[in-house]
A and B are shown apart, each in its own frame.
Chain A
Amino acid sequence: MKKEEDFDSNLSGEEESSDNPVGAANAEAREKWYRRFRKGITTATAEKKETPEGLWSKCPECNYICTTTELKENLFVCPKCNYHHRIGSEEYYEILFDNGEYISLFDNITSRDFLGFTDLKPYQKRLDDIHAKTDLKDSMRVAVGKIDGEEMVIACMDFEFIGGSLGSVMGEKFSRAVDYAIQHKLPYMVISKSGGARMMESAFSLMQLAKTSGKLSQLSDAGLPYISMLTDPTFGGISASFGMLGDLNIAEPGALIGFAGPRVIKETIKKDLPEGFQRSEFLLEHGFLDFIIDRKLLKQRLKHLIVLFRD
């Protein structure tokens, strides 16, 4: 059984959460590893450099040790136990789009502290700090490119940007991505990885659930397919809106997916949760997923689906 993670704490945008009283708040070792690892990748993204040689990584699931290069070649899936490491939009786009070529859309839309929200630090400061640390503009990117020759719009979340939280920017990018798909008659996929709503945008973040659903209604009327791909973790506002509204809902193996986080559920029912609770396999068993797909097979399956939907 994997060590439990507190998704809510990721939504605070804080890296250190050891003093969190609300539960098992220590960001998991694998998360820290991921951030370290990601830093290497991020610079590589900007300058198209290879992952630094000689960097070793340990699988949080089976402790298998391999080089980061080896892991990257294996699409960030543990060669020994098939554990799917958390990756971001840059990695997914590189894995899915032909020759890693794609056009980024709506990158100019960025978050704004409209409410003047201050928790432990001002929201604007939080945004500035993240922008200084990474190339990411917000918690979701949108791109259009070819999947084995078939054009598709793919929106993808980045968990390291305030826990992949759903705020106004994600809602607006999602909306424009749908408009783009309708305009160009393209299928649409969203790769989710999020702790839930962005609390610093208060009710505005909640209303994104309705905003995005309205756009999906238009996409549906246009007769274009929408695939919702859920990855580890997907919670809260995402699962209570477009995450669960796919023509197809699919997921990576072993991903934690749910509405309420495990900590909150345990506090409510005052019982331990069963093994495998809220994992992809659990959701498949309960009828909420169409199928679970290995990352290495995703591209070919997508191509196949696009053809099936169209022809």
Chain B
Amino acid sequence: MPQYPNRQFLDFEQPIRELYEQIDQTKKMAEKNTKIDYSSNIQQLEDLIVEKRKEITANLTPWQRVQLSRHPDRPYTMKYIEKMTTGFVELHGDRNVRDDKAMLGGFAQIDGHTVMIVGQQKGINTKMRQQRNFGMANPEGYRKALRLMKLAEKFNKPVITLIDTPGAFPGQEAEERGQGEAIARNIYEMIRLKVPVICVIIGEGASGGALGIGVGDRVLMMENTWYTVISPENCSAILWRSWEKKEVAAQQLRLTSTDMKGFGLVDEIVPEPSGGAHWNYTEAAAYLKDSIVKALNELKNISPEDRVNQRIEKFGRMGFWNE
């Protein structure tokens, strides 16, 4: 986890940066005036930072929540796997085209359960971001995810998916290899999967690219994430015919975890450290692990047949209409 001064600050996080700068100045003064004790001043400022973090996340607009979900310091899938599980063995490839680096997965142990964990992975630096294709999987990524989920089913291990994608990759080769078919197949197979399936939005939950690994018995959303049918930017471009309306689009789309929980489209909101998951990876992973383990224990006592039927019924209830 990056520490100040290597932290990055979003525009609405600037007050926190200022507090860090004040701490720096105070420390410099302390070096010059060794006779005065500045430690209480520094402690005060550090307390203020914690306060400020709380204050900022308490009053975010939907668009700011979207920005937070994309925070450059935010933990990604691999980080949660590191922090939540032991004995992770990464498994590669779709056995057909190639290994898609935007989607990763493998067996791991979490609180004594062997599970299959699958998720989109974003890169942590410029080079890795390219290699991970910004978390936008190609069809072979979705097919790799499906291969691993079917493997889990064969050996009766629960599936956990960690979702963080700005969308499935819209490229020429993706179309040639059937991006639509790959996502469709995953959705169809996931709803029929005999083992428990727990899906978590840990960052961005954009459209079919997210749902392609997002059909589960429990769907959880971390506090500062978004999940809907289209990104606010693209929604603005299509419906408002302007790139300038992303804030309004974010608001109209009702894409926050609170909205989604309110609609019954997700089952639970996983809390984050104050200020967001990027302030404390260990704490963020601990909250997530708690929720996952709780769900695993609830689901393991249901028969596979009931679980599949309940899953189909759960998604079958979603929608609103007049009649």
Contacts and interface: CB of A to CB of B under 8 A. Distances in A.
A62 interface: no
B124 interface: no
B160 to A, nearest CB: 18
Interface string A202-237: 111111111101111110000000000000000011
Interface residues of B, number: 57
Nearest to B136: A268
Contact of B235 (A114, A167, A199, A244): A199
A108 interface: yes
Interface in A235-287: 236-237, 239-245, 258-260, 264-265, 268-269, 271, 273-274, 277-278, 286-287
Interface in A155-173: 167-169, 171-172
B240 A119 contact: yes
B175 A277 contact: yes
B170 A206 contact: no
B181 interface: yes
Contact of B240 (A8, A120, A215): A120
Contacts of B112: none
Interface stretch (B2-10, B270-278, B313-321): B313-321
Contacts of B235: 199
Contacts of B181: 239, 244, 288
Contacts of A277: 172, 175
Contacts, number: 207
B78 interface: no
Nearest to A217: B192
Interface in B114-137: none
A68 interface: no
Contact of B185 (A199, A201, A204, A244): A244
Contact of A109 (B168, B315, B323): B323
Contacts of A12: 238-239, 241
Nearest to B179: A259
B175 A206 contact: no
B229 A210 contact: no
Contacts of B243: 21-22
B321 A8 contact: no
B208 interface: yes
Contacts of A80: none
Contact of A237 (B208, B240, B312, B321): B208
Given A203-B263, A216-B188, A210 B315 contact: yes
A271 B176 CA distance: 15
Given A202-B253, A216-B188, A271 B265 contact: no
Given A199-B239, A199-B253, A244-B184, 13 more contacts: A119-B252, A120-B241, A168-B318, A168-B321, A169-B319, A169-B321, A207-B319, A214-B313, A241-B188, A243-B184, A244-B181, A259-B174, A259-B208
Interface of A: 8-9, 11-12, 17, 19-22, 25, 108-112, 114-115, 117-120, 167-169, 171-172, 175, 197, 199-211, 213-218, 236-237, 239-245, 258-260, 264-265, 268-269, 271, 273-274, 277-278, 286-288
